[in-house]
Structure 1
């Protein structure tokens, strides 16, 4: 089996590629190494993957016409995992064009490449931000997601709709999944846990948005990868070949397509996360409480029912285990600075 992973130098793409290589896959990593955050960290992730002779790195951007099409024609992967994107909720207020190019134009190019070279299963990353202003909790995949609060969220909702249309037209089995606040070793420097760790070690105050009361459904990276790999083995059937697995299923009636949350359904207050980080670092944080910035929500809370129905298990690593694992990696990679 051969897999193509877009965004292989990213946090989640790197972790997924490592897992696939360990399972015996050949992996082609496709990544443009954008400068949104530290390119050195991205190159270190790629170098980590390159220790396997079954990994090939392709440095190119999805927005470049024909770039992925050429790779797909040569590699002919069995599975495609699409994790490349312009990420970040707040950055979409600064550079909206980056989201249009990477998340809309780039994704359209990916769909065309898969159309030309069909695969056994296309797996597409979305986000819990897609739920936007939804006030009903927990967030269920069957909820109407029509109130995105940022262009980032809107672009990912568009990706879900685009993927469904191609699944219908060209019969490529497709699973889209919405991530919930992923953290862990090799994480993203723009995420709160990474920022807080750096500032606490430097003796600098941390800005706590939502005044510590905001809640997030934290998902440890290993749990997330477990779920993605398990879902890759459950491609949605054609409408004429199978039906929903349960009442929670989002299986389309007109396409081999479904949407799945990946989250444990156990939201935690941000101040509790900071407490776990302080314990792992052995240092106290100086907290500066601030209101939520535009585009942020007070709570994310996944309904895990469909994920459980499909793969039989859920993300379960507690912060008290996951945060020390991140801190150990951080100190090994950066040192006590």
Structure 2
């Protein structure tokens, strides 16, 4: 198939593109490469996919991979409602995998406009292009943050998610509502994936795994919020991408026949790990104990997440298999190698 992967220079988008290419698909990656975090990391991910970083800086110019004839890349904002339809018209995609978004819960308190531009206006443009250019299936990233103040554990897609506690979460819930509308009105199969705390090599510098490792290696204290009384469904990136790719490659015949065009799934490790246990794994791999600065919970944070992934197991035989010890070791090994 020919697949558009937005956010292709991002953490999950990079790995998703890599697996889709290895499975024989043609992939066009799209990313605006904004400076929310170190753009060198984004350019170096693209280098792994065969795109020269100099080429990737050319706006609205499709760059071809030097090492994989099935991959090309375009630098573009999703909110560009003039250029995005031209891309769809010229490329004739079968599937769209929308992983591009302004990420980060805490940053949404400081810069709300960027979330509206990318996550709302940009997603509307993706929906409009999917409608106008007859996309067979739109798979898109939602987030576990939509559960907000939900106290019921584990989180289920049957739970009420009307009480988000960050603008980021509100935009992700809005994406699900917008997708539902387009599935209902225009018969577009859409699948939303609520990601749960993804970590692994090439991960984002603003995520806990990266922040803790970086601080410990550089003999700096780590910030431990809610005085360590936090739990997360930490999910290794390979397990996440396996689920994403299964959904992309799975035919939609059954759903179309049943008129079941709109679906939302949790995608996580199906387990909850204490934050202090997670930190202990990092300490073991680095051979040193972290200096911990215990702090109150941050605005927009929740105390505990845990994904019920029963629906994904039933429908796609999804089976996350990477333990915390394996995943943390893999990240620490990558970090040491990448930053020498």
TM-score (norm 1): 0.94
Show structure 1 runs of 5+ residues with no match: 243-253
Q: Which moved more, 1:113-122 or 1:202-211?
A: 113-122
Show the counterpart of 2:227: 211
Asked if residue 288 in structure 1 is aligned to residue 293 in structure 2, the reply is yes
CA contact (8 A) 1:173 1:235 kept: no
CA RMSD of aligned residues (A): 1.3
TM-superposed deviation, 1:282? 1.4
Change (3 A) 1:240 1:3: closer
Q: How does 1:30-109 map to 2 (within 5 A)?
A: 30-50=30-50, 51-109=67-125
Change (3 A) 1:120 1:240: closer
- In structure 2, what is the Cα distance between the partners aligned to 1:235 and 1:264? 24
**Which of residues 288, 306, 316 is equivalent to 1:301?**
306
Show the counterpart of 1:186: 202
- In structure 1, what is the Cα distance between the partners aligned to 2:103 and 2:255? 33
Asked if residue 113 in structure 1 is aligned to residue 129 in structure 2, the reply is yes
- In structure 1, what is the Cα distance between the partners aligned to 2:329 and 2:74? 33
TM-superposed deviation, 1:264? 2.2
Equivalent pairs counted in the alignment come to 324
**Which of residues 250, 268, 272 is equivalent to 2:273?**
268
CA-to-aligned-CA distance 1:269-306 (integer Å, 9 cap, x gap)? 00000000111111211011111101100000111110
Show the counterpart of 1:11: 11
Show structure 2 runs of 5+ residues with no match: 51-66
Secondary structure at the counterpart of residue 57 of structure 1: strand
CA contact (8 A) 1:215 1:300 kept: yes
**Which of residues 294, 297, 314 is equivalent to 2:319?**
314
Change (3 A) 1:240 1:177: closer
- In structure 2, what is the Cα distance between the partners aligned to 1:132 and 1:236? 31
- In structure 1, what is the Cα distance between the partners aligned to 2:149 and 2:256? 35
Show the counterpart of 2:58: none
